[in-house]
Amino acid sequence: MSSFHRLHIRNNAFSEIPLMRQLLTGLILGCLFFSASAFSAEPQRKIVLIAGPKSHGPVGNGIHDYPWSVKLLKVMLDNSNIAQQVRVEYHLDGWPTDPKTLDNADTIMVISDGRDGDLYAEAPHFGSPEHLAQVQKQIDRGCGFCTFHFSTFAPDQYAKQILDWSGGYFDWEENGQKKWYSAIQVHDTAVEIASPQHPVSRGLKPFQMKEEFYFNLRFQPEGDGEKLTGLAPLLSVPVLPGREPDGKVVAWAKERANGGRGFGTTCGHFYENWKVTEFRAMILNALAWTAHVDVPAEGVQARYFTHQEITAAISGKQGTERATLDEKPIRVLLVAGNEAHKWHNWERTTPVIKSQLEFDPRVKVTVSTDIEVALTKELAHHDVLVQNSYANWHDPKVLSPEAQKAWIDFLQNGGGMVVIHFANGAWNFSLPMAEASDWPEYRKLVRRVWNHKGEGDAKSGHDAFGPFQVNKTSLPHPITDGLTNFAIVDELYYRQDGADPIEPLIVAHSRDTQRDEPLAWTYSYGKGHIFQTLLGHSERTYETFEACEMLRRAVAWSANRNIIAMTRDVAPALPVPVLPATSSAPAKPAPAPKATGKLVLSEGKFGKALDAAQGGAFFAAHPEHRNATVTVDCWTKLVSKDGYNILVASEPKTSPTHWEMYSHAGSGLFAVYMPGRGGDYRTEVDIADGQWHHVSMIFEPGRIHLEVDGKLALDKPLPAPLPPAAAGPMAIGQLVEGGIGCNGLIDEVRFTRGVREFNELPTTAPILDERQLATTLGLWRFDKLVGGRSPDECKRKLDAFALAPAGTTDRSPETDPDHWGSKAVGFDWTEKNSVDGRWQDTEIGRWLASIVGLPGSAVRKGLSIRVGDSQDAVLCYDTEVCGLRAIWTGGFLKFDPARFGIIASPQPDGTIQLTTQEGQQWSGKVQFRRMYAHDPRVVLEYVVDNTLVRESPWREAGNVFTRQFEVEAGSTPLNLMVIPTGNAEVVEQVIAGRPSILQTVGAMKRRIVLLPEDGSPVTLKAVEKSGRLTIPPREKPLRFKLVYSTGFEDDTPALTALLPNLKLDSLAEWISPGPARWTETITTRGSTSFSGKGPAVAKPPYVVDTVTLPFDNPYKALLFTTGVDFPPAGPVKNGADPLTTLYVCTLHGDVWQVSGVDGELRDLTWKRFATGLFQPLGLKIHHGDIYVLGRDQITRLQDRDSNGEADDYECVSNLHETSVGGHDYVACLEVDSEGRFYFVHANQGA
């Protein structure tokens, strides 16, 4: 019997006392309590929280985040409904500096790693004999003790102690060897309250949570007959395969004989779970209960606090000092604007500054672009004015007397001000075309101003925009205390004009003046505190943590509020800007594009090129041209750095989905600007040097990758995607809306669907074969003009044209011309009539057979399979070679809405993690046989050199994916190329005792690990820049897994923790039929040609009965019917009634079973029978079996458990070829009396 079944909790000490005695005793105790409390308050209970160092990946990944967990617990307890009853302190890095602080603790919680054999360190309480003795000392006096998640791990030698201290532990050891008795599984599942009457369960109810659950824990050593009293299960997880009776328990409480209390939980892997109310309450209840604080009836209640709020609450607090949150807001008015003055990118910097300031949870920012309204209507309602480079450039209007007075009064009465960069140039006598606006008092509000008219050393200036080092001065100040010197990319201002004294906080050495120039200082005006910084030229300033932190502190300091010192992990630099819907013009003047009405060609890199200085070009773009995933590349020769040079631009700058490839003014650096996706992505490569350069942009949903001359120049993640951009014109050599052009030549502009990397500099003009044509969205060589246009060599023929000159009736770029129309075919129709994106909204299912457009080459016979618990990752196979072609994460497939999605190849809708080359992967002859469906898993079956192979793909966690194989016995050795031969080196490594191979391509690391059975002869080796799996001759079937890991960080720690938990399960369960997936009841009402009314007429020679299609169905499935057949008399293998049933296939991959097809057609029931087929254009029922003809194969569909859905997709024949084009038609399946199939095959038909 489990120790939990011997539970004895003394919850009611009065349960056996007669009622009168209870009343009398209660009255006496109440009087005594009143008397005592009148002279002394109940002592506060002390809770000590100990955190080990974070493990399992970098800070911010939300896993094993021990330091943040203890800080959060302190803030929650200090702001909870028991805050007055407790005092809480936390210690980082594994143990208190002074262990004497434990001597008066009422309970201790350890949140840390634990030792797992030779992995990780021992939990801190077992970390040394001194720690062990220190804890035992507290236990002996009745102190509480709590373990949390990984700190529940304990070796055998300390089993007795931990059972006494907390009541249970994770058992990983047997006879000194690592051998798990306990186990680990990750589930998003229901959690039950095992002991609802226990004080720790107060206020709790069953809940759902995703967690890495440890289970099968030790609650009593084997062979120990002594009963353990006071042990209670708290949480139980029904889905866990735990041993009876207590193997599903994941949280427990222990009451010791000396009155001390213990608690443990194996939950806590994911930091995100602190947002789960019940989980949060249970931990808080446990801390209160183990500290002997009476748990309130509703439980200990405290909300979740963000990292920013935690930092704010604990800032400046020591020991058990209460960490309360200052809820009083700091109201900030952020002023920017002036359409004539956009050199300082205020439209980009303003949202970044707002985001950075609001990392301080007290700060609430209001943005204004009207300085008069801001000063006269809004300023009085704020605490701080932030002047973000606002200058009345080319605006001679004087600031009104009302605005001047409001500003002065605000500061003199104690308002704060922060002055950024060129805000010091406003209302100045030297301001170009704005001399009349001069306001002398502004030079007292702002102590150092820009003087355009100074002579010699009195004339203000700046170093060229670029990187430089910023150094702190020795002046102590809370704005810079604790910060270090830092590098920044900015403009270094010098010779700023002003006579009033300043004491610099930071300086930087100017290349121009060869002096250390002051860059920030503080001073007062009346009662107002002012901070002025000369940093802030562009959004690149805020890539630097120190610059952001100084602004945050300056706002609090100028508002006379407590400064909260943020850290890099709390307030990262450069968040996603949310830009106003206004134009974002260049930072410096740039050549305007000429509108000549014609394209001008000059000598190019290969043949001719577009002379963009004479005007840009346009083409009628599709969404594929402008949305991820797309690769854009071209050759360019730029002859000037005086302004921006636009190479390719999508949409006007007013659109948040706008992007442009260009070179920077002044530096010539190649960059891409995406206003809605993080701003400017700038390389350090100058391409405006008068030489030819090849540049490319790979735009993925989650990354941007820039290359120059065949070399990687930038690789950065992108913020969350915006809604896709709509169709519209794109520009080459200028912005779409005009205003900025290009001073140079542009040649060989190419758009490619998917990722196309350039590992070396192209030496010739691109030559497109059939495969490249299938993925090329547009190619403009600019070698010749046909009818004034540059031909597009892509199939869409979107020829590039010039913008009409000013004064003509139509200067707007063209829209997409009709592919077919009344002039061609005699009826009114355009391509727009078939642009329909509904397939993207269809609930397709777990897989889809189709062409799949991948970087480099498309998969002709692709099978894309969703994997993982969330089904948000995909493994894509080529069934022709039975090999893995790609892995991506994010979404499933992206369908081009043109022609209802059937003309263009589907694309990966996510971030590609891995691709392999087209071609053979297994060393022998392969034949695909079938796919078994068992929701949510699938099993693929194929034959390699007469050897049966089965595999099932899955996503285990993050970017870790598996292929589980079962290979039958046989005498033939098999080889599988898992990493095709390439240019990148492949090295062998051992991870957690398992062989692996690692390939590094640029910043991306791709690893494959072999998980074999014990004693398995299967090997995984690096062979000549490739990876090879070898399966030797075998006398019995073999089972193994290949684990794929991708990412930009070292995956060793994560894999070391994960691999021991991956099991080699049998595929038999997933081969067997699974539950039905398409269970909705769908009915329609048909009609017959004979209505039954009116006089009888002779039987017509031809009649039409209507089987009404369920266009409005719960799956949003499209119903372009392509094949119909009726079962012959006799049994149908899935149990359908042959007399009243028909089967229908549809172009988008479904097969429907329709029942109720009788003489009246009144009650038709539709059941989705099969999904994910490759454009089926034929269906035939032969001998009771359903055969469907697709572009990839003839498939026999079998419903083995008669639940109305196919679960065996057998490949009868895949001998016919298919191309990557959009006009293959494989149709009209027929069968003769001898069972031979016939069909029409129009490969690449027009």
* pLDDT at site 595: 57
What integer pLDDT is reported at residue 1129 of this predicted model? 64
Give the whole-angstrom CA distance, residue 1163 versus residue 1085: 5
Rounded to whole angstroms, the Cα distance separating 969 from 965 reads: 13
Residue 684 CB: number of other CB atoms within 10 A? 13
SS3 for 327?
coil
Q: List the structure tokens of 1185.
A: 């079996």
Report the pLDDT value the prediction gives residue 39, as an integer from 0 to 100: 35
Phi and psi (nearest 5°) for 822? -60, -30
pLDDT number for residue 1144? 97
Q: Which helix (H) or strand (E) holds 697?
A: strand 692-699
From the list 321, 324, 325, the residue with the least C-alpha distance to 88 is 321
What φ, ψ does residue 802 adopt, rounded to 5°?
Answer: -95, 160
Asked if residue 934 lies in contact with residue 1073, where contact means CB atoms within 8 angstroms, the answer is: yes
Q: What is the DSSP letter of 62?
A: -
Q: What is the DSSP letter of 376?
A: I
In whole angstroms, give the CA distance from residue 201 to residue 628: 49
In the beta sheet, which residues pair with residue 326?
A: none
Domains along the chain with CATH numbers: 3-9+42-314 (3.40.50.880), 330-558 (3.40.50.880), 601-802 (2.60.120.200), 838-1071 (2.70.98), 1082-1242 (no CATH)
For residue 416, list its beta bridge partners. 384
**Residue 112's closest CA among 162, 149, 159?**
149
* Strand 144-148, strand 170-171: pairing: unpaired
The answer to whether the CB of 322 falls within 8 A of the CB of 82 is: no
Q: DSSP 3-state helix, strand, coil percentages of the chain (rounded to 5)?
A: 15, 35, 50
In 3D space, the residue among 553, 550, 541 whose CA is nearest the CA of residue 577 turns out to be: 541
Other Cβ atoms within 10 Å of 560 Cβ, number:
15
Neighbours of 1052 (CB within 10 A): 15
3-state secondary structure of 6: helix
- State the Cα–Cα distance between residues 878 and 885, nearest whole angstrom: 6
Q: Could you give the dihedral angle defined by the CA atoms of residues 454, 460, 463 and 466, in that order, rounded to the nearest 10 degrees?
A: -150
Q: Is 414 exposed, middle or buried (0-12, 13-18, 19+ CB in 10 A)?
A: middle
Length of the chain: 1246
Spatial separation of the C-alpha atoms in residues 608 and 790, rounded to whole Å: 11
Cβ-based neighbours of 326, under 8 Å, separated by 6 or more: 312, 362, 561, 562
3-state secondary structure 529-576: EEEEECCCCCHHHHHCHHHHHHHHHHHHHHCCCCCCCCCCCCCCCCCC
> Backbone phi, then psi, for 140, in 5-degree steps?
-65, -25
Spatial separation of the C-alpha atoms in residues 188 and 193, rounded to whole Å: 16
Q: Is 401 helix (H, G, I), strand (E, B) or coil?
A: helix
Buried b (16+ CB within 10 A) or exposed e, 729-741: bbbbbbbbebbbb
Omega before residue 265 within 30° of 0, cis: no
Alpha-carbon dihedral 90, 95, 101, 105, rounded to 10 degrees: 70
Over the chain (1246 residues), the average pLDDT of each successive run of 10 is 40 33 40 38 88 83 92 96 96 92 97 90 93 96 96 93 94 90 94 96 96 92 50 96 94 94 96 96 97 96 93 90 91 82 71 91 91 92 92 83 95 96 88 84 93 82 87 95 91 92 94 93 96 92 92 96 86 48 35 68 94 90 87 95 90 80 90 82 92 95 91 86 71 86 94 85 79 85 91 84 53 41 50 79 94 82 94 94 93 88 87 85 94 95 96 94 96 89 81 92 83 92 88 94 89 92 91 93 86 50 86 94 84 68 95 91 94 96 92 95 94 89 85 90 62
In contact, 400 and 540? CB cutoff 8 Å: no
> Amino acid letter at 1217?
E
Q: Which two tokens stand for residue 978?
A: 């898992």
pLDDT at 437: 87
φ and ψ of 1155, to 5 deg:
-115, 165
CA distance 928 to 1213: 9
Q: Which of 474, 528, 527 is nearest to 503 (CA)?
A: 474
Q: At what angle do helices 66-78 and 277-290 cross, to 10 degrees?
A: 80
Is the distance from CB of 1029 to CB of 995 less than 8 angstroms? Answer: no
Which residues fall within 8 angstroms of residue 872, CB to CB, at 6 or more apart?
Answer: 866, 889, 890, 891, 910
Measured in degrees and rounded to the nearest 5, phi and psi for residue 995 equal: -70, 145
Sign of CA pseudo-dihedral 239, 240, 242, 248: negative
Residue 755 and residue 1042: Cα distance in Å, rounded? Answer: 25
